[in-house]
Amino acid sequence: MPINRRPKTAVVLLNWNSTNDTLACVDSLLKGTYGRFHIYLVENGSREDEKRKLIQEIQKREKVTPIYLSENSGFAAGNNVALKLAILEKYDFYLLLNNDTVAAEDFLEKFIACAQNHPDGGAFGAKIFYYDPADVLWYAGGDVRPLKASVVQHGFREKDSEKWSREREISFVTGCAFLIPHKTLEKVGYLDDTFFSYFEDVEYSIRIKKMGYSLRYCPEARVWHKVGAGAQSFTYTPYYLYYQTRNRWRAFASQRSIFFKGYLFILNFFLYFLGRIVYILTSKSENKRKQLKAVLLGYVHGLIGKKGRERQWEKSEM
């Protein structure tokens, strides 16, 4: 596409019981310097009070098409609903953006410019800071590590520096800010909504790379993400443990040889299964029984190919 043309971009946001964050994200985009965008806002089955507030407030904003779902359909499925509607308008780019982010004024301007400069790119990632402290990085590009069945977020918990200000090729784009050219959506398809939660962005990054496209980190495109940088330990909720354990296997074992799956089985068992069992047993958690059950079922369900939503874990999500 010509460099001097300003492409039109569809921004996809999901709201689930966090209307204030969603409205702050929308407002930051509307205040931006880039005008050729439209927001597809998916109300993903929030509580009635949150939904009512969103309906009332979103009518006051321009450039927003709300989409109301009757229940929480998960990250991938919620995004896919909006993408399948937006693609009918044939946007040049589609941006999946977490609703708990606040964008810099030139965020879209810089993100689109980076993508235009690399027409061979299959997807693009932004520079993502913690919201507080605002100078600490959450993501400065990322890479898939198949032999460790993991991904790394570069710059994680580091102060921003010149090191993280260089544009480069990567192999993992986080779903927090995932820019997709129209050609990628047409040829690669949509997110795999059978994951429901966690590792959808990992699997999608892997799939895009397998189709021969490059992934790229665009450091001049900046957003701030409302996650707790000051927390010294992560709370392993049963929800997190189940989906992370189950979907790790699915993301890394998909379309791999029987030999790699054998290696992954051993790695997954000793590192991610037994490792978390030991962590839980030696922790001070008051919810050990449910945490252990989540890890066990997640491990077994991953191996047998269980997909989709498991409602039993949802009360422990947050």
| DSSP category for residue 71 | S
Percent of the chain with pLDDT over 70: 95
- Whether residue 170 has pLDDT greater than 80: yes
- Whether residue 159 has pLDDT greater than 70: yes
Torsion, CA 249, CA 250, CA 251, CA 255, rounded to 10? 110
Strand partners, 103: 223
Cα(154)–Cα(298) distance, rounded to whole angstroms? 27
With CA atoms as reference, report the closest residue to 103 among 2, 222, 211, 4.
222
Which residue stretches of the chain are H helix?
A: 19-30, 48-58, 75-86, 107-116, 182-188, 200-210, 238-253, 258-267, 274-282, 288-304
What are the helix and strand counts (H, E) for the chain?
10, 12
Q: What is the pLDDT of residues 56-88, one digit of tens each?
A: 999 999 999 999 999 999 999 999 999 999 999
How much is the pTM?
0.93
Give the number of other Cβ atoms within 10 Å of residue 156's Cβ. Answer: 15
